[in-house]
Amino acid sequence: MATLLNSSLRRRNGVVGVATAGLAVAMLGAAFAAVPLYKLFCQVTGYGGTTQVAAAAPGLVPGVEGSRPFTIVFDANVAKQFPWEFRPEQRQVTVRAGEEGLAFYIAHNPIDRPIKGQAAFNVTPLQAGKYFSKVQCFCFDEQVLLPGQTEHMGVAFFVDPAILKDRNMADLKIITLSYTFYEVPGQQAGLAGAATTAGANAAAPVR
């Protein structure tokens, strides 16, 4: 009788152990999946001012409805202790829905070592994120500036004509596109080699 009881307990413990391990693996997988799923959710819904990506602008909407102007204001920031100087080349531009707009930001590295940065971005009001699409943008890739180097970084964008059908956006006239540059860590060894070969080509500082 004791043997049967011990055998039953071992089987039960084995089942519990397998179930616990399976649950741990499932939770780990869910944690890894959560990040891309959250990014996908933000992109689809425009949550948090997340902008969209498109291959090309659809073109102007004909008629009176399509003549509605949108003023795009450009904002620039850098993370704390990130040494770049970063600013928009123009304060604002005006576009109509479906029309491709083009703007530039100026970034300058004033220190004596190369820096790799990545731009985070959003738009305000946050609800406009799902209607603001980028065709090309420096924010799609990491950017490297050598000591003293200055770069003009472009962004091509448009306001989705679908915004004209959204009653909640009927009074919207101004959209602010904001970027914040952060340093990409752990890149100094490789960047130092690049600086020795290309440092002489660095541009003049931004003033």
What are the residues whose beta carbons fall under 8 Å from the beta carbon of 82, sequence distance 6 or more? 115, 117, 181, 182, 183
- What is the pLDDT, as a whole number, of residue 43? 44
For the chain, give the number of residues. Answer: 207
- What is the pLDDT, as a whole number, of residue 108? 99
Q: Could you state, in order of their start, the residue ranges of all structural domains in the chain?
A: 1-45, 52-201
CATH 2.60.370.10 fits 52-201, yes or no: yes
- What is the pLDDT, as a whole number, of residue 185? 87
Could you state, in chain order, the average pLDDT of each consecutive group of 10 residues for the chain (207 residues)? 48 48 43 36 46 92 91 98 98 98 98 97 96 97 98 98 96 98 76 48 42
What distances in angstroms separate CA 102 from CA 29, 81, 173, one per listed residue?
41, 29, 18
E-strand spans in 63-165? 69-78, 85-88, 92-96, 101-108, 115-124, 132-137, 143-145, 150-159
